[in-house]
Amino acid sequence: MQPLALPHHAALLLDLDGTLLDFAPTPDAVIVPAGLIADLRAVRQRLGDALAIVTGRPIAQVDGLLGDAPFAVAGEHGTALRPAPGAAIQHIPLPAMPADWADRAMAAAARHDGALYEPKAHGFVLHYRKAPQAGQNLHAAALDILGQHPDFMVLSASMAWEVKPVAADKGSALRALMSRAPFAGRTPIYVGDDVTDLDAIHAAQEMGGVGWQVGPVFVTPGGVRTWLHDLARTI
């Protein structure tokens, strides 16, 4: 793949799983490849700190994986925002998930060998990467748990179904970050791989920037990492 040029005075915002990191059988089994953190730090320096991670993971997990490489982190689909290193984490008020949903989701996953229930701060994920035959059943279970609740939705993820608040989206996170230094006034570039990234891709485009999906542009997360490595040396 030929390296893609960044617009002048760009800000780079990146999804994590499926974009920077390859998927693993379970979320806690992902591997940070050698050299990635150094490349992120170099790109961040060359962009005047305008580098952020925008992910469905909690911010603490991003810190555990990438340390201080990104300047800002938006976690939990934009409902938790740390706009700068050491800054207090800001939370968007969201509706509480009904008390019985976690037990029902865990029971649904337990009915399929290899399926996994992952709790989130304001929802949950049902993974079927290790139980591909369970995908349709887990989708039906997620819809049944959700019922007619107006404040939550079911999203298709990579070999998973996520139940999350309607108000939580990565486009809002991108806009919030782009309103603050060092991102403000720059051209947003967003890279993501999944349905949950479309809001951020559209937001970047609406702000005069670019949104790239991993598959059509980079093929794999390895392609994204190669591109970042080249950027680290050429920006």
Q: What percent of the chain has pLDDT over 90?
A: 83
pLDDT of 1 reads: 45
Least confident of 10-19, 89-98, 137-146: 89-98
Q: Please state the pTM of the whole predicted model.
A: 0.82
User: Higher model confidence: residue 107 or residue 25?
Assistant: 107
19 located within any domain: yes
**Same structural domain for residues 181 and 192?**
yes
| Phi, psi dihedral angles at 14 (to 5 degrees) | -125, 135
- In order of 78, 99, 143, 220, the CA distances from 96 in angstroms are 16, 8, 17, 35
**Same structural domain for residues 217 and 107?**
no
87 located within any domain: yes
Q: Which domain holds residue 29?
A: 10-92+168-234
Mean pLDDT computed over every residue of the chain: 94
- For the cut 70, the answer to whether the pLDDT of residue 81 exceeds it is yes
pLDDT of 175 reads: 95
pLDDT of 167 reads: 82
pLDDT digits (tens, 9 = 90+) for 152-164: 999 998 899 999 9
1 located within any domain: no
179-205 mean pLDDT:
96
CATH number of the CATH domain containing 190 = 3.40.50.1000
**Same structural domain for residues 118 and 144?**
yes
14 located within any domain: yes
Active site residues: 15
When divided into structural domains, the chain yields a total of 2
**Same structural domain for residues 82 and 148?**
no
137-146 mean pLDDT:
98
2 located within any domain: no
Q: What percent of the chain has pLDDT over 70?
A: 98
Pull the structure tokens for residue 217. 């542009």
CATH number of the CATH domain containing 120 = 3.90.1070
**Same structural domain for residues 86 and 181?**
yes
**Same structural domain for residues 176 and 67?**
yes
